[in-house]
Structure 1
Amino acid sequence: MKNRKTRLAGILGASLLLAACGTSGSNSAAPPGAQGFTPPKLEALKALGQPEGQLNVLAWPGYAENGSNDPKVNWVTPFEQQTGCKVNVKPFGTSDEAVTLMKTGQYDVVSASGDASLRLVASGDAEPVNTDLVPNYNDVQPFLKGKSWNSVNGTAYGIPHGWGANLLTWRTDKVTPAPTSWSVMFDANSPYKGKVIAYDSPIYLADAALYLMAHQPDLGIKNPYALDDKQFTAAVNLLKQQRPLVSEYWSDYLKESQALKNGDAVVGTAWQVTVNLTKGEGAALEAAVPSEGATGWSDTWMVAAKSAHKTCAYRWLDYIISPKVNAQVAEYFGEAPANTKACAEMTDKTLCDTYHASDAGYAAKIAYWTTPIPQCLDGRTDVKCKDYGEWTKAWTEIKG
């Protein structure tokens, strides 16, 4: 919860992304996956063996707590006691860092967001996952399975863990009527000029693209992470139009909370944890997924292709999404759990309702973060789409 502020701060540049998503010669005759690239031919583990006694975990802060940050927050030690797998946890601050560290071959599992998972698949750093070896996978929400950020051509490359939406939030005492559309942030004539707060990352272009899907259907945008030249230009121009409305771009949710509390901003993009915190400190704040939908994240536990501790890795995958542990992580981190049975294990019995944990309709409104690559993620093959390097260049230009 405390460290999601760095989630997208340093996504890997275009050169590594292009290298990762290139098709190897050995696979050149294979049909491309739905994501526009052919993964290396790697096999999932067929059967569990004897636990190897060690596990090297690469994780977002808050996902693999061992009591060192807070003695009361520790789900690593019980895992070690149950399995005999000694866990070494390496926290990372950005998806860029996670991808780089995975290439060293020193880690067995990683908690990857959608802006990193495809790169790990395409580069061969993560291998397919045999879900039959993860019994708790049966209880994962169906709407999180087989998605473009955790599977390729029907093959699972990871186990869903937690998810959430990037919400439209507003000060109820200063914004009336309650907004139902992102137009309150994107319309050039918004009455809240100078009081809009927006997310500080190139991936925010996807929010603009999502808005254009609803308001300019003639552009033909089907996936906000798959933008050809015309679509990309339209999204960039929309954010340039929005720029005078924005008082601040945030990457630290605590700073956004402060801006909303003191009135420097009255409407913006926020995570549910930000809304909860700000309301809890007395601000008149509400949030919702607007009519156009919203972007968001869905994190996946993946197994390193070079892992020397794969039985321990699979034991971890099953453990970390078990009902009780998945509940602990979701409460500490601030997100919806993946396991359908986790809600019954929550200390805060309102959390699952707050985060819409079992609401498939709500989840369907979310366009989950996915790394833009030249091969259009919407399946088009007659055009090239803009990759993340180009998104980054455009974002620098937008902010000025």
Structure 2
Amino acid sequence: MRKTSAGRSAAAACALLLAVTACGSDDGDRAAKAPEKLGKGEGKVNIIAWAGYAEDGSNDPDADWVHPFEKKTGCRVDTKVAGTSDEMVSLMKTGQYDTVSASGDATLRLIASGDAAPVNTELVPHYKDIFPGLKMRPFNSKDGRMYGIPHGRGANLLMYRTDKVSAAPDSWRAVFEDADAHSGHVTAYDSPIYIADAALYLMKTKPSLGIKDPYALDRGQLDAAVALLKKQHRAIGEYWSDYQKEITAFRSGDSVIGTTWQVIANLAQADKAPVKAVMPKEGATGWSDTWMVSTKAAHPNCAYKWLDWIVSPKVNAQVAEYFGEAPANAKACAETADPRHCAVYHADDESYYRRVHFWTTPIKQCLDGRENTTCTDYAQWTRAWTEIKG
């Protein structure tokens, strides 16, 4: 069972974003090179990771895939646990870290700023077993090159208390247009990337806005999403980024409806909270993390060894169960302690994930293919998020 927080909030100050990304420049990634071959391990690897991704047994003696890696490779692991995507971007700029488990709201920033290098997937033997639906995606590739190795994925679902919400919701309308029905008890994910949830709803319900990709919003489309979120804000009881706080809020009844992850729903139900989680008919946003290698990596050989280790079937299964997500390696499903894990998280259900719009860093170059339009970037989304929350 998962015992640590993913802590994915990306609500850092706009000044930080302006300092760490140019989100329209590609000078950095053009210069980056992937190695053609690997040499001897350097004896160490410096990692930036979400909590639960690089466990060494100190949090849970049954969760340790770091020490076996060190024993096998001779590469000592030094892990920096990051609490937000913005923190990861900032840390990668220092050049002190070799690899990072970046979410889609950070990956394109790292590519654009030249802090992440393309990855030679032939040097990661287990890459061949990664689910095809995770390869060459807009959030982990550029110009036909992979910029990392997929780690896992999950969807942002709609959760509600069955004793407080009389009609089972099947649409995000319940937390947007109809949010006032549960005023003071609606919850939402605390991050600028949540703007994409409103954009996805508008994409499906207001076709006149012309939204084709919830992460590719021109100024007018962003304004429409912001207006919807400002309306929702009046009904929000609290925004969440710590999954334990959301579980507590749903158990107490402080929150009765809002966005969630499958693992949160599982844990809330285990705590006897009367909740259900659904994928609404409009689909959902979601997240897929990618292990990226720094262009300044001092220990690239050990970094590549880590990339292959963390997505090897047994280890990827361990991480997926501990953290609460679908593994990236298709062979990991045969290695999970719970034989139902991959079914619960829809690991091999590509039709399910085709309905999920994975977090992708908004950039000025429209991700939906528009060439004569300037889209809003993550810095603008961050300013908008501050404005939404007042």
Structure 2-normalised TM-score? 0.94
Q: Tell me how far 1:139 sits from its aligned partner.
A: 0.7
The 2-side partners of 1:11 and 1:80 are apart by 37
Match of 1:4 among 3, 6, 15: 6
Kept after mapping to 2: 8 A contact 1:296/1:367: yes
Task: State the partner residue of 1:385.
Answer: 375
Task: State the partner residue of 1:90.
Answer: 80
Q: Tell me how far 1:355 sits from its aligned partner.
A: 0.9
Please, which moves more after superposition, 108-117 or 5-14?
Answer: 5-14
Task: State the partner residue of 1:62.
Answer: 52
Determine if the alignment matches structure 1 residue 52 to structure 2 residue 4.
no
Match of 1:158 among 145, 148, 154: 148
Inter-CA distance 399–9: structure 2 relative to 1 (3 Å threshold)? closer
The 5 Å alignment of 1:223-242 reads 223-242=213-232
SS state at 1:93 partner = coil
Kept after mapping to 2: 8 A contact 1:170/1:266: yes
The 2-side partners of 1:399 and 1:88 are apart by 37
Task: State the partner residue of 1:16.
Answer: 19
The 5 Å alignment of 1:164-175 reads 164-175=154-165
Inter-CA distance 11–128: structure 2 relative to 1 (3 Å threshold)? farther
2:210 maps to amino acid = G
The 5 Å alignment of 1:24-35 reads 24=27
Deviations 1:355-390 (A, max 9, x none): 111110111111111221222222222121122222
The 5 Å alignment of 1:305-316 reads 305-316=295-306
Inter-CA distance 397–386: structure 2 relative to 1 (3 Å threshold)? same
Inter-CA distance 315–18: structure 2 relative to 1 (3 Å threshold)? closer
Task: State the partner residue of 1:317.
Answer: 307
Inter-CA distance 165–189: structure 2 relative to 1 (3 Å threshold)? closer
Kept after mapping to 2: 8 A contact 1:48/1:133: yes
Task: State the partner residue of 2:345.
Answer: 355
Task: State the partner residue of 2:104.
Answer: 114
The 2-side partners of 1:44 and 1:232 are apart by 36
Match of 1:332 among 314, 317, 322: 322
Match of 2:244 among 235, 254, 261: 254
Please, which moves more after superposition, 192-201 or 148-157?
Answer: 192-201
The 2-side partners of 1:361 and 1:66 are apart by 35
Task: State the partner residue of 1:77.
Answer: 67
Q: Tell me how far 1:226 sits from its aligned partner.
A: 1.1
Q: Tell me how far 1:15 sits from its aligned partner.
A: 1.7
The 1-side partners of 2:243 and 2:347 are apart by 21
Kept after mapping to 2: 8 A contact 1:11/1:115: no
2:230 maps to amino acid = K
Match of 2:276 among 268, 286, 300: 286
The 1-side partners of 2:105 and 2:13 are apart by 7
CA RMSD of aligned residues (A): 1.7
Match of 1:341 among 312, 315, 331: 331
1:3 maps to amino acid = S
SS state at 1:39 partner = helix
The 2-side partners of 1:122 and 1:372 are apart by 11
Q: Tell me how far 1:18 sits from its aligned partner.
A: 4.6
Q: Tell me how far 1:6 sits from its aligned partner.
A: 4.0
The 5 Å alignment of 1:138-157 reads 138-157=128-147
SS state at 1:106 partner = coil
Kept after mapping to 2: 8 A contact 1:11/1:94: no
Please, which moves more after superposition, 212-221 or 13-22?
Answer: 13-22
Kept after mapping to 2: 8 A contact 1:261/1:278: yes
Kept after mapping to 2: 8 A contact 1:184/1:192: no
The 2-side partners of 1:107 and 1:346 are apart by 30
Please, which moves more after superposition, 14-23 or 288-297?
Answer: 14-23
Q: Tell me how far 1:14 sits from its aligned partner.
A: 4.2
Q: Tell me how far 1:7 sits from its aligned partner.
A: 3.7
The 2-side partners of 1:82 and 1:11 are apart by 41
Kept after mapping to 2: 8 A contact 1:106/1:307: yes
The 2-side partners of 1:104 and 1:338 are apart by 29
Please, which moves more after superposition, 320-329 or 170-179?
Answer: 170-179
Kept after mapping to 2: 8 A contact 1:58/1:89: yes
Task: State the partner residue of 1:99.
Answer: 89
2:204 maps to amino acid = A
Task: State the partner residue of 1:28.
Answer: none
1:161 maps to amino acid = H
SS state at 2:182 partner = coil
Q: Tell me how far 1:188 sits from its aligned partner.
A: 4.1
Q: Tell me how far 1:189 sits from its aligned partner.
A: 7.0
Across the two proteins, how many residue pairs are aligned to each other? Answer: 387
SS state at 2:29 partner = coil
Task: Name structure 1 gaps, 5 residues minimum.
Answer: 25-37
